[in-house]
Structure 1
């Protein structure tokens, strides 16, 4: 519930229907909310202490350890049973309805990232094919400039960085819908260019191919801030007590299940490339490969995705429903033009949440260094696991396909546990970074032994486990956290900046690894895992289970320069980073009883505003839009009406 802090100090000059001043009523109400008087019998209990976050009026993170453990596990188990029962009920009515619901919410929501995973990782897959078919251009660089071959990867990453920053800013400025439609159209243009790329010489084609990757990269870069924010803001609002249960209990899962479409894109691309090569290479995957087979394979692979992305643009423009109310309300609340940008919040973000911005930017950078660095390691792992495989493109692709399957297990396990209050985002990210750091340290120490035939299974385990913990760790969590921990007015901007930092991390190994040996690469990459672990612990807060309306409420206080007057759960030690607790000491402002009094005053004025809306609009109270977060529960409305 996002409210201006000026409500807290309102002088209550207006009078209610009984002739009593608002100030008098508020003081009388607030005096009844001490810890001893606040119980389940009070009409405001469900508004102030919803059962999905409180036990007997006590916030779950304030419970004694044993009680908290029992409560968290009981809630998790009960919610799992409830959802399974709901899915089973859907299945009995229509066996395909659960799949249809999954498709609508997660597949369509994350389809932009499906195209990103498909096309982004096809570059490495196709480079292996191009090197086999045109070795004088892609391997020995006799007829093509080596810088242009390298630019194929560089320009795509630079394009992605441009899209992440520009569209992130645009999403907060103009709106999420514009950003999403624009992304799909730019990606379609890029894919058409990739499909039709040509040149008067082989090097001319490479140059055209590289710039097509840049155009496509701009479109796919915008998908990061737009997909994360739209999934985060697509909430299920329940009328009973107006509690956003789905948002608090499943917010992380909703975002990650859309994000993991990136993995499905990789899987589909790898499988399709194998099938296309078999079709056009006369049913054989063995070299040598003809130029005709290579041309048909890569062009059809891009054409298929171009058609899908064009459909996505149509769907986003004509069919998709957008949850833009929260952003519009934030602008209205802070007196920002609906088509304007909240530049003050951006400046304040750097000043007040600078530590968080450092955390999300550097964690994403370290995570992408690990992730994309591992892709460069793939050939080393595969050659060690399957000697001689480098001569066959299809063998390499099959190993990649298996590795993507392992990654998918990590994606789905991350979605399953990311909202569990005893694991959550922060712990998942810490463990993922730490696990990858250790896994890469092992071959750094024992490279000769592990790469030998006698210890090949150990090398294989490191290859698959590092991919698993990358997804069941920083690759999923950085995408979620970089949007979740920031206020809505600058959420897409902050996410775009963080994501662009990540792509800088992706660019680094592509440059550094050209100048060091394979053994040295392991010594370099492992420390990025350990650095990510440390930065996560210091700068990243754990917002698992936090009501984001409280974060917006806190931001209202921050905007008015009175952050210390806020006493709610957004500054609970559980939801602050180590930097915010031990250095900035923001947790000292947390006081449940003072916060309860403030919220009662805010609820009172909220009820008065709704009554004015009913009076001016000529509508009955039960006709208010229940997707609007300013609608109180029926008990609260009745309570204030009776005062």
Structure 2
């Protein structure tokens, strides 16, 4: 016998787009704005940290962070994010989405401020304190991934659900853009107030004492947008799907959504009672039934997110090194410390403005028209093509007259990452798993992505070093060079295409159809208008 759909859930599925949808996008999206800002602003300040704390008198080049310190500063937030995604994802299914949502935001606010207050007169102490608070900052950021995605998916209607979840994630693009703009403003303001010579002209004077304020202000700015949205997060009601399907409180779910949707919804406690008595959908994450129904889906969401983030975070964190390698950013010794921050921030802002942000919003506009699978496959395909197009004729791109072409090609890899798997890997795990495991499974998928980000951050750091040991800076061991690193990233993207075939298409279906929560013990699915028995439109 088919299970009946609760009226409150059906009302959400067929609801017209209303003000509360956009309110939820902004409230959840500001968390992602902060996430992206905090994770990527560190790439702006690592060279400045090297000049301030690791400057050596008489050195032929400006001071740079030692490889172990650079790896820790860049990667420690990812370690915290991975742990936060697993922990808060699990907690969101145990305690409810809303109860946990405020914790993550406050953790981000406190640790953003504390990161900028890493005071000491010893470089090791500053770096250790910075890494400590960036780990806990990442822990809070990690919780935002499964909670924001799950809340938005459970609030949305099925017709435009993909666009709403993607719009939350698209705020990440504005966070990256804001990081570059804040870097430009801070460095330009201090540069004009305290002029300094280039490193070649005067090594000691090229890094002014006031530069120490610049990186702290850039890092601490991330607390502002998170703090501004805390009140509104606490005002959001718990999602009806958690209240009804997990907490089994039909009356509360109907009451909350009646206010949100501004319609009268029947509580239907007797239907919830029947759901409690039925045992077909009470399997756990580690059960054979979960493996049978969703095992391949979880493998698909984790593997594609893992492979995507190897490439995506390598590109984002080390674009300054790539641009320096082809000469788009001048050599560090020809600039003062703040001039270098300005040039790196300007490059990051241009890339974000021209490719990263548009890519996200292309996904928002097209995801419910052409589907998740098509966008993800297309994105991985073009990322592979452009990576190989950059890598194979790499020496061609290093010539001055070809630099603009290199930057355009590199920008296109960002565009198709965001109009592609960087958005869809976030959307799909929030749609295809049961309500009581949705946040947990999204957290596991996202954590696999952050494991990929760590591979990208640490691996590219060493792999992109010059192949000639005599040209290696700051004690780095010789690597395989940027060209070969780009070839490896192209191969990673090609693997992502293959694993995409494990991910089901969820376009136009309700969450209960995708997770098969409206299926009875005999495998019969309740049919509603426009519903379909097929939970997969993409062959494996």
**TM-score, length of structure 1 as denominator length:** 0.67
Contact kept? 2:373, 2:504, Cα under 8 Å:
yes
Secondary structure in structure 1 of the residue aligned to 2:221 = helix
Alignment of 1:320-359 (within 5 A): 321-331=236-246, 332=248, 333=272, 335=276, 344=284, 347=287, 348-359=289-300
Cα 1:172–1:576 change in 2 (3 A) is: farther
Q: 1:413 to 1:399 in 2, by over 3 A?
A: same
Offset, 1:380: 4.3
| Structure-1 residue corresponding to 2:150 | 229
Match of 1:209 in 2: 130
For residues 97-116 of structure 1, what are the alpha-carbon distances to aligned partners after superposition, in whole Å with 9 as ceiling and x for unaligned?
xxx98863422221111111
CA contact (8 A) 2:328 2:403 kept: no
- How far the C-alpha of 1:277 sits from its partner, in A, is 1.6
1:414 pairs with 2:363? yes
- Asked if 2 retains the 8 angstrom alpha-carbon contact of 1:482 and 1:495, the reply is yes
Q: Contact (CA 8 Å) 1:346, 1:490: kept in 2 or not? A: no
State the partner residue of 1:364. Answer: 305
CA contact (8 A) 1:168 1:493 kept: yes
1:308 is matched with which residue?
A: 225
Partner deviation per Cα, 1:561-616 (whole Å, 9 max, x = no partner): x33x348587755734423xxxxxxxxxxxxxxxxxxxxxxxxxxxxxxxxxxxxx
Partner of 2:255: none
Larger Rg: 1
The 5 Å alignment of 1:26-425 reads 104-136=23-55, 146-235=67-156, 247-283=157-193, 287=198, 290-317=207-234, 319=235, 321-331=236-246, 332=248, 333=272, 335=276, 344=284, 347=287, 348-383=289-324, 384=326, 386=328, 388=330, 390=332, 391=335, 392-405=340-353, 406-420=355-369, 423-425=370-372
TM value normalised by structure 2: 0.79
Compute the displacement of 1:150 (Å). Answer: 1.7
CA distance in 2, matches of 1:118, 1:386: 23
Taking the aligned partners of 2:508 and 2:129, their CA distance within structure 1 comes to 48
Alignment of 1:577-588 (within 5 A): 577-579=538-540
Distance 1:285 1:463 in 2: 32
SS of equivalent to 1:555: coil
Structure 1 191/570 Cα, relative in aligned 2: closer, same or farther at 3 Å? Answer: same
Q: For structure 1, list consecutive stretches of 5 or more residues without a partner in the other structure.
A: 9-48, 54-81, 87-99, 236-246, 580-643
Deviation of 1:523 after TM superposition, in Å, equals: 1.4
CA–CA distance in 2 between the matches of 1:539 and 1:570? 22
Cα pair distance change 1:287/1:261, threshold 3 Å: farther
Residue 293 of structure 1, CA deviation: 2.7
CA contact under 8 A between 1:180 and 1:226: conserved in structure 2? Answer: yes
Match among 427, 447, 457 for residue 394 of structure 2? 447
Deviations 1:201-233 (A, max 9, x none): 111110000111001000000000000011111
Aligned residues: 468
Task: Note closer, same or farther for the CA distance 1:141–1:483 as it changes in structure 2 (3 Å cut).
Answer: farther
Structure 2, unmatched stretches of 5+, are 200-205, 249-271, 463-478
CA contact (8 A) 1:327 1:488 kept: yes
1:426 to 360, 364, 373: 373
Query: Deviation per CA, 1:105-156, whole angstroms, max 9, x where unpaired?
Result: 422221111111111101111112223333448x999997642332112221
Indicate conservation of the 8 Å contact 1:280/1:296, yes or no. no
